[in-house]
Amino acid sequence: MDMKKVLTIKTLLVLMLFLAALSCKKSTSSKNSSRATGWQINDREGGFQYNTSFSEQETAPGLVFIEGGTFTMGRVNDDVMHDWNNTPNQQHVQSFYMDETEVTNVMYLEYLDWIKRVYPPTDENFRAIYNGALPDTLVWRNRLGFNEIMTENYLRHPGYAEYPVVGVSWIQAVEFANWRSDRVGEMALQKEGYTKRGSHLTDVSADATFNIDTYINAPTLTYGGNEEVINPEGGRNRNAQVDADGNPVNIYAKRETGVIPLKYRLPTEAEWEYAALGLSEIRSYNVYRGRKKYPWDGKYTRAGKRRVRGDQLANFKQGKGDYGGIAGWSDDGADITNEVKSYDPNDYGLYDMAGNVAEWVADVYRPIVDDEFNDFNYYRGNIYTKNAIDEDGTVKVVTTEDIVYDTLSTGRLVARNLPGEILQVPVDENETYLRTNFDRSNEINFRDGDKRSSRYFESFNEEEERNTETETRKMYNSPQHRVERDSLGNLIREYDKSSSRTSLINDKVRVYKGGSWKDREYWLDPAQRRYYPEDMATDYIGFRCAMSRVGSKTKRKHKTKN
């Protein structure tokens, strides 16, 4: 090739690179230009700052993506109890994320270790925090069974490390999810340079902790106001900017940055059932091809594939005195719980959505699902709160002197808030006045359990002051045990001995789903639902966490139209 042609090719290449760079610059400039005002977004001299390059929500640790959709909730295949506890109703669930497995012993032990380091139980002021988080290992005891080996070893022995944690109440499961949210958020900010790397190990104490809501609303109050942690090296780690007057901007991450992850929580009943069914396995174009009885396809609990034919697909009680099967032949591999991922996942990639342990969900239990009022993201249990505000107009952050403890019906003390969190108070008339979508802080009894639903309702007495607890009792006459402490801290227990109680349902019973190692096949159907007091624990109920999805419904870039 002669020299002239080489120069021509080089010239064309340079021109192409120049045009590409110019195009990229125009694209970037256009992306950072406001369509509302024409002003520049993310200008180095200040002004409106926003993450214009955000692509999609990052999948948080331990979670898998569940694309939302419509399904028939509560369609059980068997109803031998004839209790009309499940009425099929069409629901739509938004996309969300769910734990791939149940929360395991080693995951929960990490939580306990953090509490012990930050709130040492050797300090009398913090002892109840650690004790309140401990699982109840005595759930394994049986008056006619030899189970002390599980009582002493199940939670802590490495042989059970990857087994699902049990002995955890609904309240404890919620607190674990809150703790997990803060730790993942803490790490995300370190990764992006907004907080000091390693601060979760070297700079945390009872008076200096991290909480997502506190960081968003009052970042200077996190870590006890330690400037070295919340603004490491004066912002050099993240190229903090200054405005035209030389004042620093973008020191702290905001929701607009897209850096702060969403919170972990318990899944709603609708989400759990939808995820457990894994209906994408039987989807054909825009309809479901048939129905499913279990998280796997088919109507049997044993595998039909030649390689594993006859193997059990879940861990459950197969009959009286039969918790695993005959040893050495088609045994399900477990007599109590089993290590997570011991059985194949469902079509969403979720393990043990039937068997192993049943799982807490977020909902307050009611015998009906009120689909006539709502068929989108159904959930019963909303209690709306807001941040408490100090006299100086700033949010009120809980200190080591402000910890509030609840005495549960079992007599156990549980910390209701922890230092570093923003104190929450019920919403009031400022939020509810003339609203059509909600009218008070506690909406647990909406359209069920309120006076209008009960035989005591009198239309001429409608203006009587509303009390959530009394409204529930007029619909569900459940026992009321009195548990409190006197001025000396002594526990006072008074059991309800009334013979006129007609129900165990109240505002403190929560739904749990899925069969367990202790249940017969009947309960493996994801549509089945049961309830248990939120402050009690068993040896067969565990939990897994979920997280909401923001932005696009799907992760597929090009959605196929059917």
For residue range 443-489, list pLDDT tens digits in order. 999 988 766 666 666 655 554 556 666 777 778 889 888 888 877 77
| Domains (range + CATH), the chain | 56-192+259-381+507-555 (3.90.1580.10), 383-442 (no CATH)
pLDDT tens across 67-115, in order?
A: 999 999 998 888 777 776 778 899 999 999 999 999 999 999 999 999 9
The full length of the chain comes to 562
Alpha helices in 235-309 (DSSP H): 269-277
pLDDT at 26: 47
Shortest CA distance to 110 belongs to which of 166, 60, 167, 155?
Answer: 155
Q: How far apart are CA 193 and CA 252, in angstroms?
A: 10
Look at the block and give the residue holding tokens 């619909």.
475
Look at the block and give the residue holding tokens 């607190």.
175
Q: How is residue 31 annotated by DSSP?
A: H
Q: What is the mean pLDDT of residues 390-403?
A: 91
pLDDT value at 186 more than 60: yes
Rounded mean pLDDT of the chain?
Answer: 87
Q: What is the mean pLDDT of residues 319-329?
A: 85
Task: Please say whether the beta carbons of 323 and 335 come within 8 A.
Answer: yes
pLDDT value at 6 more than 70: no
Q: Which residue has the higher pLDDT, 133 or 52?
A: 133
pLDDT value at 386 more than 70: yes
Shortest CA distance to 360 belongs to which of 161, 164, 153?
Answer: 164
Q: What is the pTM of this model?
A: 0.91
pLDDT tier for residue 324 given thresholds of 50, 70 and 90 = confident
pLDDT value at 308 more than 90: no
314-328, 338-352, 451-465, 483-497 — which is least confidently predicted? 451-465
Q: What is the mean pLDDT of residues 135-160?
A: 96
What string of DSSP letters covers 351-395? Answer: --SSSSSEEEEEEEP-SS--TTT--BS--S--B-EEE-B-TTSSB
pLDDT at 562: 53
Give residue 431's identity as a one-letter amino acid code.
Answer: E
Helix (H) or strand (E) holding 63: strand 63-66
pLDDT at 28: 47
Q: How far apart are CA 21 and CA 27, in angstroms?
A: 10
Kindly provide the b/e burial profile for residues 172-209, where b requires at least 16 CB atoms within 10 angstroms of the residue's own CB: bbbbbbbbbbbbbbbbbbbeebbbbeebbeebbebebb
Chain centroid to CA 495: 33
pLDDT tier for residue 137 given thresholds of 50, 70 and 90 = very high
112-118: long-range pairs with CB below 8 Å, 24+: 114/179, 114/183, 115/179, 117/204, 118/204, 118/205, 118/206, 118/209
Q: How far apart are CA 88 and CA 105, in angstroms?
A: 35
